Amino acid sequence: MKNTFGNNVSVTLFGESHGEAVGAVIDGLAAGIEVNTDFIASQLNLRRPVGSISTPRVEKDNFKILSGVFEGKTTGTPICIVIPNENTHSSDYDETRFKMRPSHADFTANVKYNGFEDYRGGGHFSGRVTAALVAVGAIAISALREKGIIIGTHISKIADISDRNFENIEADIKALNDMQFAVLDSQKGEDMQKKINEVRAEGDSVGGVLETAVCCIPAGVGEPWFDSVESMLSHALFSIPAVKGVEFGAGFSLAQMTGSVANDPFEFVEGKIVTKSNNNGGINGGITNGMPIIFRTAIKPTPTIAKEQETVDIRDNSNTVLAAKGRHDPCIVHRARVVVDSVAAITLCDLLSAKFGTDWMAK
């Protein structure tokens, strides 16, 4: 029953969707890193619901830092951040206590924890817990920026509507990071939101794909085999609720290429070695090669929908139907984008600390 990720820099999550609070402890960050509470608040705001395309449940996210920060800087000891849950409607889940919601963790949690799990709103498995990841991730993002490393994610696809690809990556990242609905083509963004509302009106939900770029990370970061950059990032990304796929660079498209097309030729330009293409997403042998890290994350449709679905009532193992009640997102892709940035930043802080030592992040 482990809720901790990371080696040199680690994060432990706690809390439930309808419990008193959610929170996280991040341990291993160097002393002397600036902690900007306004930036943490702005990152949490990017995760918040957005009008009709999101859930009506809106939390204030009035976070509190309990330890590890003094006079605006990290002390080097564990940082604990707590975010109260202030807008819960627990009675919405009375019916689903025994009727297992399809594609949720209701059934698996009930089996794993022998019926003692907190079933309200998905409990510890809820996307609500990602608020804590975003809060501690904001500190990691700030630390990386001080080292010149920037991260940005856009909504690459919702249903069958696709955004444009990254072009001028650094400029695109800077444009994305303040957007509530992060797209590179504003018209495509309007089309996506229209699609979400159409699906919502039908009592259904929709998923999509996020594309992330990490710029200016040095070559040589990552460990072979089990702690490779892909291994560690995938581990963290698959921990985000609703993530069902991760690919790096050209990803599954590489299977359709020949080696002469898939390979990224090297060249020496302006004093450094770069590659002419980036089909491998900035990673060779599990180690960064200095090019931008590019990866995509597939987000499944929100499993809670208003349409009737077949399920089982575990009180007597009878077959039944369930039409979910309560406040739910018709799409969570746009809210998940800042969560992806956050876990990527935490993971990269961990990998960079393994390469350069934990104090490097504050130098």
In the structure, how many helices (H) and strands (E) does the chain have?
A: 8, 18
List Cβ neighbours of 191 (8 Å cut-off, separation of 6 or more): 161
pTM of the model: 0.94
DSSP string of 278-309, one letter each residue: -TTTTEETTEE-SSPEEEEEEEPPPS--SS-E
Cβ neighbourhood burial of 316 (10 Å; 0-12, 13-18, 19+): exposed
Residue 324 burial (10 A CB sphere; 0-12, 13-18, 19+): buried
**pLDDT recorded at residue 88:** 66
Is there a contact between 12 and 24 (Cβ–Cβ < 8 Å)?
A: yes
Identify whether the C-beta of residue 52 lies closer than 8 Å to the C-beta of residue 197. Answer: yes
Classify 4-362 by CATH class.
Answer: alpha beta
Cβ-Cβ contacts under 8 Å for 89 (sequence gap 6 or more): 57, 326, 327
The residue behind tokens 């695109």 is 172
Check: CB of residue 361 under 8 Å from CB of residue 227: no
* pLDDT score, position 58: 73
Predicted pLDDT at 1: 55
Domain boundaries, the chain: 4-362
Which CA distances in Å does 266 have to 66, 228, 252, 269, 277? Answer: 48, 21, 22, 10, 9
d(CA 178, CA 337): 12
Cβ-proximal residues to 281 (8 Å cutoff; 6+ apart), any chain? 248, 249, 250, 251, 292, 293, 294, 295
Backbone angles phi, psi at 97, to 5 degrees: -60, -35
> Would the CA dihedral through 74, 37, 351, 235 be positive or negative?
positive
Look up residue 101 and give its DSSP letter.
P
| H-helix segments, the chain | 37-47, 106-112, 130-146, 169-176, 186-201, 229-237, 259-262, 333-356
pLDDT of residue 122: 79
**How many whole angstroms separate alpha carbon 210 and alpha carbon 233?**
14
Query: What one-letter code names the amino acid at 127?
Result: G
Q: What is the DSSP string of 317-331?
A: TEEEEE---S---S-
- pLDDT for position 306: 87
Q: What are the residue ranges in the chain where pLDDT is below 70?
A: 1, 56-57, 87-94, 326-327
Instruction: Specify whether the CB–CB gap between 235 and 5 falls below 8 A.
Output: yes
